[in-house]
Amino acid sequence: MLKFITAVLTSLATGSIYALMSTALVLVWRSTRVINFAQAGQAVFTTYIGYEVTIRSGSYWIGVAAAIISGALIGAVIDRFFMRPIFKRIKSGPIVMIAPVVATLGLLGIIQAIIGFIWGLTYQSIPAPVSTDGYQIFGSTIAFSPFNLMVLIAVTISMLLLTLLFQRTNIGLALRASAYSPEIAKLSGIKVDAIRTLGWALAGAAGGLAGMLFIPSSYLYPNAMDVLLVFGFIAAVIGGLDSLFGAVAGAMILGFAINFATSYISSKLVFPMAFIILILVLLIKPGGIFSSVKGRKD
Amino acid sequence: MSLIVENLTIDHGAIRAISNVSFTVPQGQLAAIIGANGAGKTTLLRTLSGLKDAKSGSATWGGKSILGKRAEDLARSGIMHVSDGKSVIAELSVKENLALAGLWRKDKKDVAKATSEVVELFPILGQRMSQTAGSLSGGERQMLAIGRSLIARPKLLLLDEPSLGLAPLIIEQIFQTIKELVKKMDLTVLLVEQNAMGALKIADEGIVLNLGSVVAVDSAQTLLNDPAVRAAYLGF
């Protein structure tokens, strides 16, 4: 029983980190129709900024704020000065589908190289603001700590804020309209380019938060977020790629599958489980669980 | 303010879609561009609303060039384009679809006023406010698309095939509403239609387009009575 409860709790905690990454990917996909592989680089870069600020100010929370703000700024800059010119220059042909994605891959490499130059390739750590030792239940320690609880709460709050932004504000309506139909949004007078940049900024902020919540239980190095990018991507695909609710649900499904497989079967199942789930979803419902897209008929 | 198009040429990829087209729509008038499928009507409207670039020529509204401007800026300056295919966002509610054209407007009181005017004009929309636009019938979607454009208080309305895919009774109703709007709101309308008969009946002026070129410009009445036009474009 204790094992089961622990598995549920750790599933929620890891699932919520995946959710931030999948949300970031979905925010960009919805606005630009690009899978942003640079997200891992952006997130880890902003986490380095959060790390610097945490060390210098002595406050983890000021570090989190710095990571979120710089994440948003970097996301906006990448869209405005990198992605937008690319889209402007290539308007037709098969390259339209490929070039932006390849560009984000290139960007990932560039960002990680820059990080190497500035901070070196050694492992750093960000001290957690609360204990990372597991709670004691009936005299035994479980694999769920006050820090895991804090992560869960922080992600829940940020998801609620994001939902409010999307559903209850004018900006949110403009974001949704631009995602569903950029042309109708433009013809209605909405500055779709600016709204797209805002989508990238929100994604960047989510990535920064994900880094600051993930790294204290791991280490900080240039490739520290690569694994999360893969899991976030799988979660986003499970959720249908264009649904924010789907991104969170997909992340939770993934979190539960991985944690239950590792605690009940074998700890070596982290990656196999993630890809088993991905392949199952793609076989049964290729459009993702929460998408209206139908499977291929031919 | 009038819409003046002079020697406009537009390419669609490697194909010349519109070649050397000129016409004028004076303020407060309803002009209908008629012609068969593939005549270049939609391409012309998309260029006038900033969705597409022109090759050469000019187009002005109130003396100012509208070519090469962004679609959203033209919309904000009072040129609203209701594109074909029932241009509504299916995933959003009726209320949200209407709100889109008022999001950027400073005068929120007038946005509310315009919204209630649209509901008065199309009462069915009032009953469907919280439904998604995807659940509406074709006629209701067209009403919503036109209604949304009115929220921006347009001066020039570019309408692309409002009759497309609608039942005859609904078409009649939509056409009559467009005609009333021109009078009531001092609108200038450029209407593109395959339904030449219906369009010419409500229009002041008719422009006949064939394979990207203007083949006739005259008062709608004259075109309706012209045996050659009737035979070629009206089918009787």
Q: Which residues of B touch A198 (CB under 8 A)?
A: none
Residue A294 has what pLDDT? 43
Residue A88 has what pLDDT? 84
Provide the mean pLDDT of chain A.
92
Owner of token pair 């009032």: B126
pLDDT > 90 fraction of chain B, expressed in percent and rounded:
73
Residue A127 has what pLDDT? 93
Cβ–Cβ gap A186/B72 under 8 Å: yes
Residue B235 has what pLDDT? 66
**Other C-beta atoms lying within 10 Å of the C-beta of residue A87:** 18
The answer to whether residue B207 sits within a structural domain is yes
Q: Which residues of B touch A180 (CB under 8 A)?
A: 89-92
pLDDT band, residue A298 (cuts 50/70/90): very low
Q: How far apart are CA A114 and CA A117, in angstroms?
A: 5
Residue A297 has what pLDDT? 38
Write out the residue range of the structural domain in which residue B216 sits.
3-86+156-234
Joined tokens for residue B80: 């609203």
pLDDT band, residue A163 (cuts 50/70/90): very high
Q: Do strands B3-12 and B15-25 pair parallel, antiparallel, or not at all (unpaired)? A: antiparallel
Q: Which of A272, A295, A233, A284 lies closest to A34 in space, CA to CA?
A: A233
Residue A61 has what pLDDT? 97
Q: How many CA atoms lie within 13 A of A145 on its CB side?
A: 12
Of the residues B11, B15, B100, the best mutation for testing chain A's interface (the one with the most A CB atoms within 10 Å of its CB) is B100
Give SS3 for A51. helix
Q: Which residues of A touch B82 (CB under 8 A)?
A: 187
Q: How far apart are CA A142 and CA B202, in angstroms?
A: 77
Q: How far apart are CA B78 and CA B100, in angstroms?
A: 14
pLDDT of B141 > 70? The answer is: yes
pLDDT band, residue A295 (cuts 50/70/90): very low
Joined tokens for residue B172: 């009649």
**C-alpha angle B162-B165-B166 in degrees, rounded to nearest 5:** 75
Cβ–Cβ gap B72/A192 under 8 Å: yes
pLDDT band, residue A137 (cuts 50/70/90): confident
The answer to whether residue B209 sits within a structural domain is yes
How close is the nearest chain A Cα to the Cα of B221, in Å?
Answer: 32
The number of domains in chain B is 1
**Other C-beta atoms lying within 10 Å of the C-beta of residue A123:** 10
The answer to whether residue B162 sits within a structural domain is yes
Residues near A133 by beta carbon (within 8 Å), at least 6 away in sequence: A141, A145, A146
The answer to whether residue B126 sits within a structural domain is no
The answer to whether residue B40 sits within a structural domain is yes
Cβ–Cβ gap B75/A184 under 8 Å: no
Joined tokens for residue B223: 């075109």
Q: Pick from B13, B92, B101: which is nearest to A176 by CB?
A: B92
Residue A68 has what pLDDT? 98
Cβ–Cβ gap A189/B99 under 8 Å: no
Q: How far apart are CA B47 and CA B17, in angstroms?
A: 11
Cβ–Cβ gap B89/A181 under 8 Å: yes
Report phi then psi at B112, rounded to 5.
Answer: -65, -40
Give SS3 for A231. helix
CATH number, residue B12: 3.40.50.300
How high is the ipTM of this complex? 0.93
Q: Exposure of A250 by Cβ count < 10 A (0-12 exposed, 13-18 middle, 19+ buried)? A: buried
pLDDT band, residue B236 (cuts 50/70/90): low
Provide the mean pLDDT of chain B.
92
- Segment (H or E) for A74: helix A60-78
Cβ–Cβ gap B88/A184 under 8 Å: yes
Residue A1 has what pLDDT? 81
Write the pLDDT tens digit of every residue in A86-108: 888 887 777 777 888 899 999 99
Write the pLDDT tens digit of every residue in A33-75: 899 999 999 999 999 999 999 999 999 999 999 999 999 999 9
Q: How far apart are CA A83 and CA A76, in angstroms?
A: 10
Q: How far apart are CA B18 and CA B57, in angstroms?
A: 11
Of the residues A188, A190, A195, A292, the best mutation for testing chain B's interface (the one with the most B CB atoms within 10 Å of its CB) is A188
Q: Exposure of B169 by Cβ count < 10 A (0-12 exposed, 13-18 middle, 19+ buried)? A: exposed
Q: Exposure of A283 by Cβ count < 10 A (0-12 exposed, 13-18 middle, 19+ buried)? A: exposed
Q: Are A142 and B51 in contact (CB under 8 A)?
A: no
pLDDT of A296 > 70? The answer is: no
Residue A72 has what pLDDT? 98
pTM: 0.90
Size of interface A-B (CB pairs under 8 A): 70
* Residues of A at the B interface, defined by Cβ within 8 angstroms: 92, 170, 173-174, 176-177, 180-181, 183-192
Q: Do strands B56-61 and B3-12 pair parallel, antiparallel, or not at all (unpaired)? A: antiparallel
A280-284, B74-78, B127-131, B143-147: range with lowest mean pLDDT: A280-284
